[in-house]
Amino acid sequence: MSTIIYGIITSVILALYAVGFSLTYGISGLANFAHGALYILAGYISWNLMNYLGLPFLASAPLAVVACALVGFIIYWGLLLRVRGIPLSELVVTFAAGVAILELLTWRGFYGISYSLPVFVEGGVEIWGVAVDAQRLLVIAVGVALVVLLYLFVHYTKIGLAFRGMAQNERTALSVGIESDWIGALSLALGSALAGLAAVVVLPLGMMESSVGYEVLIYALAVAIVGGLESTPGMVVASFVIGFGQRITASYIGPKWMIIVPLAAIVLVLAVRPSGLFGKFKELEERV
């Protein structure tokens, strides 16, 4: 029983890590390698808002999310605009931006044992004899709400539709008046905001320091690729496959092998079924 419950929690956390990354890639084809850095940046910002300005966590968390969106926006207009279309340079620039952010945080002293965000909700409940704390339940709720909202957003709002237009055919989108750079910047901002949101929900479960950024990036990549980039249901399924894979590995093989699951999943999926679990034929052609 505990395997199922904690498996679900792990999976939702993975999905939260990945949703921003996969959204940005799906819309504008940008692999945002600064994703992990933005994630931890949100934690840092909200911690500082709380401890230096005395804001409550409920106020500092949304501010941190907005700040992340801004940083994402700036990364696009300030850095990516000039190298747009050169995948190598895009990748190196976002990765360098991410590492720069992480290292600056480390330099500011963002490591060690004193950084921890409070939980939104105290206490816990027992579900079928398994103790689960309220914060983890909140994580599940946020994860589910997020996926549903995103679905509604890209299917029923103007910007959302523009996003999908860009993803499907950039030229046609241009010809109907969708501004490619704006949408690109917005998609990066949205992806970054989602990274920030994941951070303020998930980080209270443990401690934080800048090195978390690298790990989050790897998980985001793993989930996004295994699910098939740009496919939201694929992403959800992938996070469950990896989440439960980890949990089962921990129970039956040994906990130290847990970290290997996502890595092996990526390699296997790409070798056997390159379009991801839920990829479509069109993507297959792009990949192979």
Partner 1 sequence: MRRRRSVYLALLVGATLLMFTGPLAAQAADPIVLGAPTSVYTPFGKSCLQATELAVEEINKAGGVQVGNVKRPLKLVKSDTRGGEPGTPLHDAIMAYTKLITEEKPDAIVVGAFRSEVLMKAMDTVAKYKLPHLHTIAQTPGFQKKFAEDPEKYKYLFRVTTDALIPGSYTQACLDILKKDFGLDRVLFIYQDTEWAKAFAGLVKMLSAKSGWKEIGFDAYAAGANDFSPALEKAKKENAQVIVIVWDVPLGAGVFAKQYQAQKVPAIVVGFVPPMAAPQAVKTLGPGVEYSIHVEFPVGASLPLKKLPKTLAFLDAFKKKFGDLPEAAAVTSSAYDAVYIWKEAVERAGSLDADKVVAELEKTDYKGVSGRLKFDKNHIAIFGNKDANETGLAVVFQWQNGPDGQLIRVPIYPETVAEGKIVLPPWMKK
Partner 2 sequence: MQPPDVKIRRKRLDRGIKARTDSVFVIAAPGDIIYVLAPRVLPVVALLILPFFLSEYHQEVLVHASVVGLLALSWDLLACCGLFSLGQSLFFGVGAYMAGMMDYYLHLSIWIGLPLATLSGGAICSILLAPVVRLKGVYFAMVTLMLPLLFRKIIEASGLLGGTLGLSTRGSFPNEWVAVYLGIIVFLGVLFGLRKLIDSDYGLVLKAIRDDDRAVMSAGINIYARKVQALFVAGSIASFAGAFLTYRYEFVGFSVFAWDYAILPLAAAALGGPGTFAGAALGSMILVPLSEALRAMGGLRIASYCLVLMVSIIALPEGIFSFLERKYHQFESLVEVK
Q: Give the separation between CA 47 and CA 280, rounded to whole angstroms.
A: 42
| Binding status of residue 239 toward partner 1 by CB under 8 A | no
Identify the residue whose tokens are 């901002």. Answer: 189
Determine, following the binding rule CB under 8 A, whether residue 5 of this chain makes contact with partner 2. no
Residue 250 touching partner 1 (CB under 8 A): yes
For residues 263 and 242, give the distance between their C-alpha atoms in angstroms, rounded to a whole number: 9
Rounded least distance, CB 247 to partner 2, Å: 16
- Closer to partner 2 by Cβ: residue 79 or 150: 79
Q: Comparing C-alpha atoms, which of 177, 174, 155 is closest to residue 164? A: 155
Candidates 48, 89, 116, 180: give the one binding partner 1 (CB under 8 A).
Answer: 116
Cβ pair 3, 247 in contact under 8 A: yes
**The token pair that represents 119 in the structure block:** 């939980």
Q: Would you call 208 helix, strand, or coil by DSSP?
A: coil
Q: Is 96 in the site for partner 2 (CB under 8 A)?
A: yes
Name the burial class of residue 207, with classes exposed (0-12), middle (13-18) and buried (19+) by CB atoms within 10 angstroms of its CB. Answer: middle
Contact between 106 and partner 2 by CB under 8 A: the answer reads yes
Q: What is the chain's length?
A: 288
**Contact (Cβ atoms closer than 8 angstroms) between residue 213 and residue 102:** yes
Binder to partner 2 among 2, 48, 89, 116 (CB under 8 A)?
A: 89
* Interactions with partner 2, residue window 216-245 (CB under 8 A): 218, 221-222, 225
Chain residues in the site for partner 1 (CB under 8 A): 2, 6, 10, 106-107, 111-116, 124, 130-131, 133, 135-136, 205-209, 211-212, 214-215, 246-247, 250-251, 254-256, 258-259
Chain residues in the site for partner 2 (CB under 8 A): 31, 79, 82-83, 86-89, 91-93, 95-97, 99-100, 103-104, 106-107, 214, 218, 221-222, 225, 254, 256-257, 259-260, 263-264, 266-267, 270-271, 274, 286-288
